[in-house]
């Protein structure tokens, strides 16, 4: 899938919502914490979420190698009300999917993995 980030993300977001209709939001952000594209339901700020994603990625990049567990590629954070999935897109961006806690985790993994690959070419 070739095209601009805006074009590719529109298609990818539609695919995620089609396969995981309970999704509450999707964002692609730089590792520096800047939102690139987003579709977040409710009052969640894309700027704030992108900054928190950057912090999470930074921590993961320090923790995993220090435990001799290799390089980080994804994160799942679970709370009493929902889940946050972060998948790295190359070396400069990440995809985040926000869902309720009851989501089918396997479906998120499959869709997010495919989506990250599609977005990687557009992110550069």
pLDDT at residue 89, as a whole number: 94
Q: Is 27 left (phi over 0), alpha (psi -120 to 50) or beta?
A: beta
Report the C-alpha gap between 32 and 55 in whole angstroms: 9
Instruction: Tell me the pLDDT of the chain (124 aa) as tens digits.
Output: 457 899 999 999 999 999 999 999 999 999 999 999 999 998 999 999 999 999 999 999 999 999 999 989 999 999 999 999 999 998 899 999 999 999 999 999 999 999 999 999 888 7
C-alpha torsion angle, residues 81, 77, 34, 63 (rounded to 10):
160
| pTM confidence score | 0.93
pLDDT at residue 124, as a whole number: 72
pLDDT at residue 90, as a whole number: 87
Domains and CATH numbers, the chain: 5-123 (3.30.450.30)
pLDDT at residue 2, as a whole number: 59
Q: 124, 98, 102: which is closest to 16 by C-alpha?
A: 98
Report the C-alpha gap between 36 and 114 in whole angstroms: 19
């Amino acid at each position: 899938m070739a095209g601009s980030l805006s074009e590719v993300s529109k298609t990818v977001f539609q695919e995620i919502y089609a396969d995981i209709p309970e999704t509450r939001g999707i964002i692609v952000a730089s590792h520096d914490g800047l939102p690139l594209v987003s579709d977040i339901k409710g009052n969640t700020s894309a700027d704030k979420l992108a900054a928190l994603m950057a912090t999470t990625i930074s921590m993961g990049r320090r923790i995993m190698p220090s435990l001799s567990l290799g390089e980080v590629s994804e994160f799942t954070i679970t709370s009493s009300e929902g889940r946050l999935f972060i998948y790295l897109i190359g070396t400069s961006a990440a995809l985040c999917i926000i869902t309720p806690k009851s989501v089918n985790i396997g479906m998120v993994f499959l869709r997010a993995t495919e989506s990250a690959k599609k977005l990687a070419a557009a992110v550069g």
